[in-house]
Structure 1
């Protein structure tokens, strides 16, 4: 099977590291990502500061140059988006997958998060995940590794 390299990008506290661990089958407590984190299959977890601080956009662009898919992660309980329009379009030809994280929280509003993401340029399918929902994590894993079409819906 071909390896599909992807990078998780999003703001500070979006749940990227928790998702990165879940996709790798790890249940460890996430720690603040201070630098790029890679796994042996080509997946990458990026610091939230890469999105939050314009002076670090260059680091985001450079570090994601060799991935096949950019995964923009936005928490279901965050009403603001710091993603500048067009930032993730810099690499033409890359697949862009939207992920709404933290859908299991009491203050989660995944519909509002999806609307916000659409206004910021995330087009196509947006998947909703929760740390304690193995079905949602497996669905994302299948999409990222090319075993399921992005357009396929799940309950």
Structure 2
């Protein structure tokens, strides 16, 4: 992507993040953001997309390919994946922990860590995936799923 030795042609991924239609035609690119690496992406639906990127570490909300909001992210953690719950974001940080962020005044501020508890009151550990409005926690014996509506 950086072309340390130059390019004969501009590479497909030079904008860092792109959207295509079903025919493979480019609909949008993140050319104005200088995305070196997209750390986290959540496509809520065809119109709403959120992404968090290096090297500015901004959290961006797009609606119909136009920027709706840009958020500053406080704290030292790196967001790997996330879901939105009203004015709160649940995010996997540093690949293994879940952090709750409060959204206020175009800033995401860490509010505290999140633990997952089963029906017996026991803490659940496993691999976490966040997609759309869903959180999945996978252990060696079980797959847990929860939609974010009514989560917090």
**TM range, smaller chain:** under 0.3
Give the TM-score normalised by the residue count of structure 1: 0.27
- Comparing both chains, which one has the higher relative contact order based on Cα–Cα distances under 8 Å and sequence gaps of 6 or more? 1
Q: Radius of gyration: which is bigger? A: 2
